[in-house]
Chains A and B, each alone.
Chain A
Amino acid sequence: MTAAADSALRDAAAEALGAGGSVAHDPWTTFTPYPAPFLSRHGIWALDHESEDSSLWLFLGWAAGERARLLTGRPDEFVAMAHDDGVDLRAPEQAIAYALAYLHTTRPAAPLTTVLRSLDDLPAVPAPDTGEQLRLAALARRRGGDFAPAATALAGGGHAVTVHVARDRDLVRARLLLSPAGDVEVAEDTLEADLPLQAAGLG
């Protein structure tokens, strides 16, 4: 990214973050592009900021010359961005990428939300004790094969996408109904609770 584009992105992010916007101009704040092949004009950017007191990880949608949108915690903004961009979700792969991006970039700061594509993505506690190892192994046996996202075409051109999500210590299955224009309806089931998974601290 050019210096001018970086500067423009930081300005747009600062504006989107309102009173919290000064962090966008902090030299220790980085912006990393998030893959969004379903978008044509917009890009999705991950804002990372580390300080002694807090870690910020926020997502913003932005098209050069336009205002940025804060996506974290705001699924409606994600859909509005998709509408502005004119997405057209026809292929199942596109629908899956869209669903994963939707869940990943709009997840709140807490609880710790991890979108799973495979068993390897499961945020197990770093040093599980024996009992926890057994529980994780049982979980892998029981559900490990289910974690790959799957899409089913719906009559009328939309898709139903199933994605698994770790939300703090719970395993959640999310079913997203997507219209070709990017509208989303979500239904969730908590499959397992209180697993030996990482959770989010407040700091």
Chain B
Amino acid sequence: MGFDQQREGGTVLPEAPMQAPPTNVPAFGALQQGAGNALVTAALTGMTVARQPVTAPPPADGAAAPPDGAPAAAAGDREKIEQALKDGDSDEMEKVWGSFGDNLPAVASANLDLWDRCRQEGADLEELPAVEKLRQKLKADVIRIAYNNLNKNEDLVAAEMERYGLSKDRDVPQASSAKPLADGVVPKDKEREAQLQETKAAARFLLALELKQNSLKSVVVGKGTQPFDPGTRPVLDFDIGGKTSWEFVKAGWDECEEMRARVLALNPALFAAMQSNDLLGFAEADPEQHPEAMQQRIRTHMMVVLNNIKVARGNIESGSCDYRSLSPILATLRGGAGGSTVAWNQPFYSWVMRNDVKDHEDTQWWAQLGLTAASMALLIAAEFATFGGATFLILTGAGVGISAMQASQKQDDFKMLAAAQRAQVDPTTGLVLRDQVDEAEREAFMAKLDVILNVGMTGFGAGMRALQAERAAAGVAGHGAPGRGPRVTAPDEIADVPAVTGDRPVPAVPGHAPAPGAPTQPAWTVDDVLAKARQTGEGASAITLVKKHKIPIVTGPGNYAQFRASENTVFLGTDMSVDQASINFAHEINHAEKKILNLRPDPTTVSRENFISAKVAEEAEGQAKAIRHQFESQWLDPNFKGVAAGDKAYSEAFIDAVQKARAADPDAPEMLLKLRGQKAGEQALIKEFMEGRLATASSGGRQTYPEKFGAFWDRANGRAAATP
């Protein structure tokens, strides 16, 4: 982004808002050498966040504030700059700007046009001492905020552990070691139990929220009738009471994110559990009979968080993580928060920041921090207790199964961080407002989401009917009618309506040039497969992944499908029916996702047994997705012809698990039953694969998947005699 763009909507700062760093951070390296990391940490942790209004910062060190807060270059200086510009003398430009000394930021802020023009004419202004001083201030600000956040988060986790009666030093004594009462009954702590019940309820709510939020993706929006994508607004949309259909659903989506942030901000243990995909463990815990087991689970997750804090702090101390890579903190500052004495949100200062960090924007900073999960980087990005708003989701990827951070590295993704950090702090006391989300509020929220879903699923009523009429008048046929469930987008619609061109994940990849002897016209195109896929939850998720990771879909002769890891492409043979292709699409995208997110085991670093287990689990997960797509497609269209083997085993396991769970707890919420069923279904598929009931064909005979992956491991480890 250019300086001019940054300036849009901005105002010129009324005075030079620069001040010396509150601590001696530039001397950080020397301190570390002399005193060691611990002392440096102690020194730095003493920093405090000055919550001064960013619009009225004190004057800069040594820089006299211009009278009346009007810091323009003196008329003579401006003339000098303009003359140098006229002469094209970049040396003179640098000299004049340099002559402003510490007042340069104020002068530049008031004369951004001249600043830009001089740079365009070749003046090397980035190296002027005043700019360098700002860079040092930026570094100090970033490190100060990072340490503040880490320290406060550590304190909060410690307080939470105390609240749960947990120790950092020892595990929770389990029931067998608890001292029994005379009658053999283990004593109960009713207060603790209630606390744990509340945590369990929060976990259940988070899971339900995730399911409900994901179901919003099945709502069809826009005139192109594509499934709702929170990141992509349809080009053409219709109006529903002052909002577009996309905005209507997006509002619900955003509320889900904020609600999740609220709940998690109050439950650090659940935040950590979510990163480990263990919310279900909390949701199914038994605080009444086994409170110690649940406490131990909480402790385990808390200790992971504490360890991450320790690791992150160490990597900042050692310099392994460059301050310029800490995108969320930079975004905090650029948003005008962070308690800096420099108004980093103002155009000139924002330019200094961007210029300093421009080569670091794409750095995977959480990796530099040495964190076990990208989402743990939130620990450094903000104060735990004040996480809130959409930023939380951007940072953690909460609720989408994987960390959205991996796809959200740009600094602008964090632009709302500043607002989020202020969201739940009482401005008068600085205390965090611990606004409990009680059961009534949870129920009311879910009911509200149901309304959005119902409105969306019934085609937005009048809006969709108007769209239908519009299309009928235009003589366009084949569009989904309002009514139950998602609708099919006709292929001709995809081709003709610009609103959905963005739904094509990648440019059509050549592949339809028929091979000699092949049918001259394939029966379907990629768009047809996408139209089939987007009718179902799994299919829509696969499309989202394709768009997000820009996975090319290649078509060509053949009745098979394949993910080609070497090319990161998915091949779909056009000899398959389009229904079958959509089944295979859902399956192969799962492979692609695992590869792109680097979630696959390396056969050279894991044991043969573990490699086979991990690969079979991936295979089963993809098969389960394909089966869910199949079931949902068949529900929508009884004539749907695609099939994924193992559907019977999956279905039986699903039903069995649901029945058992319902019998054990008649009040178990539907979402828990569904998760239970899905998990059981996937386990059944793993069994099918491991036992060779699902096989892969080869001319050497039928090969089981463990055999196949075992052979692959052997080859990778040089244990196979055969070489190409």
Contact = CB atoms under 8 A, between A and B. Distances in A.
Interface stretch (A69-77, A95-103, A181-189): A69-77
A189 B575 CA distance: 24
Contact of B515 (A70, A111, A194): A70
B697 A53 contact: no
B554 interface: yes
A141 B563 CA distance: 42
Contact of A125 (B512, B516, B693, B699): B693
Contact of A52 (B513, B567, B704, B712): B712
Contacts of A72: 558-560
A51 B705 CA distance: 12
Most chain A CB neighbours (cut-off 10 Å) among B515, B591, B595, B697: B697
A16 B517 contact: yes
B702 interface: yes
* Residue from B561, B573, B626, B712 with most neighbouring chain A CB atoms (10 Å): B573
B724 interface: yes
B619 A198 contact: no
Contacts of A55: 696-698, 703, 708
A58 B571 CA distance: 15
B412 to A, nearest CB: 34
Interface stretch (B39-47, B229-237, B638-646): B638-646
B691 interface: yes
Contacts of B571: 19-20
B623 A201 contact: yes
Interface residues of B, number: 64
Nearest to A198: B695
B694 interface: yes
A18 B518 contact: yes
A108 B559 contact: yes
Interface in B695-723: 695-700, 702-705, 708-709, 711-712
A123 interface: yes
Contact of A200 (B558, B562, B600, B694): B694
B554 A201 contact: no
A50 B698 contact: yes
Contact of B699 (A48, A69, A198): A48
A50 B714 CA distance: 13
A195 B707 CA distance: 23
A130 interface: no
Contacts of B564: 22, 51, 53
Best-surrounded residue of A18, A27, A28, A168 (most CB of chain B within 10 A)? A18
Contacts of A114: 702
Contacts of B561: 54, 109, 202
Given A28-B724, A112-B697, A198 B692 contact: yes
Of B559, B564, B623, which is in contact with the most chain A CB atoms at under 10 Å from its CB? B559
B509 interface: yes
A129 B645 CA distance: 20
Most chain A CB atoms below 10 A, which of B558, B644, B691, B705? B558
Interface in A68-121: 69-70, 72-74, 77, 80, 108-112, 114
A125 to B, nearest CB: 5
Interface residues of A, number: 50
Contacts of B512: 19
Interface in B649-702: 689, 691-700, 702
A18 B708 contact: no
Interface in B535-559: 554-559
B511 interface: yes
B556 A112 contact: no
Given A15-B516, A50-B698, A201-B645, A20 B554 contact: yes
B695 A56 contact: no
User: Among the interface residues A54, A125, A202, which one has the most CB atoms of the partner chain B within 10 A?
Assistant: A202
Given A55-B708, A194-B648, A70 B558 contact: yes
B285 interface: no
Interface residues of B, dominant DSSP: mixed
A198 B702 contact: yes
B706 to A, nearest CB: 10
Contacts of A63: none
B505 interface: no
Contacts of A8: none
B584 interface: yes
Nearest to A12: B516
Contacts of B695: 112, 123, 198-201
A198 B516 CA distance: 34
B59 interface: no
A4 interface: no
A201 B712 contact: no
Interface centre among B554, B584, B699 (most CB of A within 10 A): B699
A11 B715 CA distance: 26
A54 B563 contact: yes
A19 B565 contact: no
B214 to A, nearest CB: 23
Contacts of A110: 560, 643, 645
A56 B562 contact: yes
Interface in B586-606: 587-588, 591, 595, 600
A3 interface: no
Interface string B427-464: 00000000000000000000000000000000000000
A198 B515 contact: no
B401 interface: no
A48 B510 CA distance: 24
A22 B509 CA distance: 15
Contacts of A18: 511, 513-515, 518, 556-558
Contacts of B377: none
A19 B554 contact: yes
A127 interface: yes
21 contacts: A18-B513, A18-B558, A20-B511, A20-B554, A20-B558, A27-B724, A48-B700, A50-B698, A53-B564, A53-B565, A56-B562, A74-B575, A112-B645, A126-B691, A168-B645, A199-B645, A199-B646, A199-B695, A201-B645, A203-B619, A203-B622
Given A16-B517, A70-B515, A201-B695, 12 more contacts: A19-B554, A19-B557, A46-B699, A48-B698, A48-B699, A51-B712, A73-B559, A110-B643, A194-B648, A199-B645, A199-B646, A202-B583
Q: List the 4 closest pairs (A to B, CB-CB), nearest first.
A: A19-B511, A19-B556, A27-B724, A73-B559
Interface of A: 15-23, 27-28, 32, 34, 46, 48, 50-58, 67, 69-70, 72-74, 77, 80, 108-112, 114, 123, 125-127, 168, 194, 198-203
